A and B are shown apart, each in its own frame.
Chain A
Amino acid sequence: MRRTSLIRNIWLGVENLLLHKLRSFLTMLGVVFGVGSVVAMLSVGEGASAEALAQIRMLGSHNIILSSVKPVEDEQSSTVHSHMSIYGLTYADLERIASSFAAIRQVAPVKLMRKEVRLHDRAMELRVVGTTPEWFDLVPREVLAGRVILPSDQQKLAPVAVLTEFGARKILATRSTIGQNVRIGGDAFEVIGILRNETGSSASMQIPDQEVDVYIPIEVARRYYGDIIARRTAGSREREKVELHQIIVRVDHTDHVESTAVGIETMLNRFHTKTDYAMSVPLALLKQAEATKRTFNIVLGSIAGISLLVGGIGIMNIMLASVTERTREIGIRRAIGAKRRQIVVQFLIETVVLSTFGGLIGLGVGVLIPFLITYFSGMATVVKWSGILLPLSISMAIGILFGLYPAINAARVDPIVALRHE
């Protein structure tokens, strides 16, 4: 069909639909809601999974994270009287892991403490992490000022400290603080850098990123503060000996993540009689999240399919009624010289215009909903092109699919009979 005549045909269809505004609108509603809900659900789902995937990726898909966990039986006995519980990952574990697996590229230990930190007149209890330079490779963070801990600091047992934005804010440190001394638990440390905090709720993701205020070299932490932490809880004094709170392992290839994780677990279990550590594998979480997303998309797709099907059937129903109602008009057009094909095209265009327009309105509604959700709840939503074009082209296809039968019915009308039709 020539372009101009197509435009005229579309215009004729629009005119015809405008003759019955309310009916056309009601006919469209099925597609409006179908497309609208699909677009909205897709973008909410996309937003949720994008957030989850980003969090997991931040932990590193090559990484395996081991964390010390206080065993349950220890917790019970320690409440009775003053008692020292010894548990968790050890320096020996670190050595064994680092030397036993060919696939392992880097290993970073983490030692967690709470210490009073003083800068000039301001003193606060901050969260201090002792770690090695590898940590900053494994869990990259943007350096706002200065530098991170280097191997040379480690060798020289240099008392240096890297503040995070959180920590810096708490003790009112600024860029100009770099080079100055802070006191951590009474010992002097030179501030060498400030790191940006990663946004997002990574607290749930087991790297205590937001919990950290200060990083210092692990050897320094060990020598200055030892492995025993005393905690005062409701009257009784409680002491814990934990050598390492975390070990982060990076392997050379994602293919080796799983086997290495199993190997580490087997090895650690030979030395740990109690379950006093936990292992988390971001890649496994990632795969799981992706599988969940796939399932979610299938469910959404089915709902979309059903609602669009219902919309399509609604359109077909009305168009069939419209053909019956307009039998005489069809007869007149045929008598005047319209070919069967032209009648098919006329009715088909009406349904396609109806369903496409419905799809467009649905799209508007569907884009508005995630916008409002983000605006009012702060929940992340992502409107993707595929999430727009797919429902739109499906709604057009539905117009063709469900319009074809009524249109063919219209063309089958015998003009002689139709002209007698009252």
Chain B
Amino acid sequence: MAAPIPSDSNHDIVRLENARKIYQMGTEEVRALAGVNIAFHKGSFWAIMGPSGSGKSTMMNVLGCLDRLTSGAYYLDGKDVSRLDDDSLSELRLSYLGFIFQSFNLIPQLTVQRNIELPLYYLGWDAARSAQRAKELAEMVGLGGRLNHRPTELSGGQMQRVAIARALTNDPQIIFADEPTGNLDSATGEQIMELLGNLNRQGKTIIMVTHEPDIAAHARSRLHMMDGLIDRIETETHETDQPYQEHLARR
């Protein structure tokens, strides 16, 4: 904990310091995160990889403000959010974060438009502006003609596009994607990854969990986990980050 934070920490959109998440299972402790130190730059595209049970989802949940650390600190855009209450975390998710899930997680009773609009409802937008925004986003993901369809009338790829549109509705700083192609065939998966790649090129930070190397290849950096710790980091485009990440990982 005593180690100084490197000077370029201002560019970090997320940063974990000695992050631990411990589940008490009877007398046994499960260390889902066993003291992780990591920082992701603004505008980066990370794939988190590793065997099942290595702590990928736990880390995603913590970074996505859905879960809290047992100990350690989590800085989101420079602000320590690890001690915030449930309402404040909800507000952060609403304003800064977008989520894409393996099983799409659309509300089946609502139309495509209503699903995309959902965050705007909680942001308090009026109906006309919300509809306009939903229409733009649906067009962006290539579903302009499906606004009044229900999710059940769409293919898997289309549903994931709706989910991506919904994740973008609040213009988030970070998009979290937990196995976004896990339920899709490889061709459709490629299309979804292309969409995510485009978003990253437009400046969005993307943090994605996947176990498929082909999919992970779309990310610009890869993080391998093992037993609740960072095992290995591969960074293609941010060569300058390498010493910093290794510095963090060593602590």
Q: Which residues of A contact B (CB under 8 A)?
A: 4-5, 8, 12, 16, 19, 328-329, 331-342, 415-416, 419
**Is B119 at the interface (CB under 8 A from chain A)?**
yes
User: Is B90's CB under 8 angstroms from A334's CB?
Assistant: yes
Determine the distance from Cα of A342 to Cα of B99 in the docked complex, in whole angstroms: 19
- Given A337-B119, A416-B61, A416-B66, list of 8 further CB < 8 A pairs? A4-B126, A328-B105, A335-B93, A337-B91, A337-B170, A340-B86, A340-B90, A341-B87
Q: Let me know if A332 and B124 touch, CB within 8 A.
A: no
4 residue pairs, one from A and one from B, having the closest CB atoms: A337-B94, A337-B93, A339-B90, A19-B109
Q: In the complex, are the beta carbons of B67 and A416 less than 8 A apart?
A: yes
In the complex, residue of chain B having the shortest beta-carbon distance to the beta carbon of A337: B94
Query: B45 in the interface, Cβ–Cβ < 8 Å?
Result: no
A338 to B122, CA, bound (A): 6
- Complex Cα distance, B181 from A134, in Å, reads 101
B99 touches A336 (CB 8 A): yes
Residues of A within 8 A of B64 (CB): 335
B interface with A by C-beta (< 8 Å): 61, 64, 66-67, 86-87, 90-95, 97, 99, 101, 105-107, 109, 118-119, 121-124, 126-127, 166, 170
B121: chain A residues within 8 A (beta carbon): 8, 12
Shortest distance from the beta carbon of A209 to any chain B beta carbon, whole Å: 68
Are B107's CB and A329's CB within 8 A?
yes
Contact sample, A vs B, 5 pairs, CB 8 Å cutoff: A4-B126, A8-B127, A332-B118, A337-B93, A416-B67
- Determine whether the beta carbon of B99 is less than 8 Å from that of A339: no
Contacts of A415 in B (CB 8 A): 66
Closest chain A residue to B98 by CB distance? A336
Cα distance A419–B178 in the bound complex, in angstroms: 11
Whether the pair B87, A336 counts as a contact (CB closer than 8 A) is no
Q: Known interface pairs A342-B122, A415-B66. Does A336 touch B94 (Cβ–Cβ under 8 Å)?
A: yes
How far is B165's CA from A231's CA once the two chains are assembled, in angstroms? 103
In Å, the complex CA distance between A219 and B152 comes to 98
- Chain B residue numbers with a CB within 8 Å of A332 are 105-107, 118
Distance (whole angstroms) from the CB of A12 to the closest CB of chain B = 8
Q: Which residues of B contact A341 (CB under 8 A)?
A: 87
Residues on B with beta carbons closer than 8 Å to the beta carbon of A331: 105
B232 to chain A, nearest CB (A): 26
A337 and B90 form a contact (CB under 8 A): yes
Kindly list chain B residues whose C-beta atoms are within 8 Å of the C-beta of A340: 86-87, 90
| Cα–Cα distance between A335 and B61 once the two chains are bound (Å) | 10
